[in-house]
Structure 1
Amino acid sequence: MSMVQVTFVDVNGVERCVTGEGDLSLMELAKANGVDGIAADCGGACSCATCLVHVDPAWTDRTGTPDDIEFAMLDMVSDVATDSSRLACQIRLSTMLDGLRVVVAQQ
């Protein structure tokens, strides 16, 4: 499996580049690397919003848009969600996302 590099800006404003296998979710990569602000309470089942990130606008075409279930979860946190918000558990890494940059949402 190919490796993918992602830059996370955590809840403290610390920018960190991490690398992981392309078959992980963005949330799994964040948890494996101890990124502050990614609690992932539901373990990736898209039933909470504790892995909320804001995708850099340059990457939104490649990360895609939320499906109906993810959109419903984002609607529940509309006070912190933006047009570029996604749940990290719903973004699957691939070589197409090598270099992705996301900001972890303050919750």
Structure 2
Amino acid sequence: MNRVWKTVTALADRFDEADTARGMPPEESHVLQVLKIGEEFGEAAQAVIGVKGTNPRKGTSHSWEDVHAEVADVVITGMVALARMRPDAAEYFADQLKAKAANFLPRTTA
């Protein structure tokens, strides 16, 4: 397991421990973690709106750097969600990435 997935797994374990201490069943934790992805996506969308200045009440309120940070939050939250739901998250993600990429990237004959 690489360094990124070790960190993601450590975060997942910490959140699982906190939810267990609160008496929350794993399925409920998983549902809430998936909803957290939606929350983070909303913040990324809000940052794009802020870059474009399309909210007349707020005007230009964000930078592209803000968008980048919010998109990173979406990715991290998604990775943590997967790690909370699957002990084999790193391998599962790698397999899913390979399968999805095969739909879009040219096949090579090596």
- TM-score bracket for the superposition, by shorter chain length: under 0.3
Relative to the length of structure 1, the TM-score reads 0.24
Which structure has more helix as a fraction of its residues? 2
Q: Larger % of strand: which?
A: 1
Between structure 1 and structure 2, the one with the greater Rg is 2
Structure scoring higher RCO (CA < 8 A, sep ≥ 6) equals 1
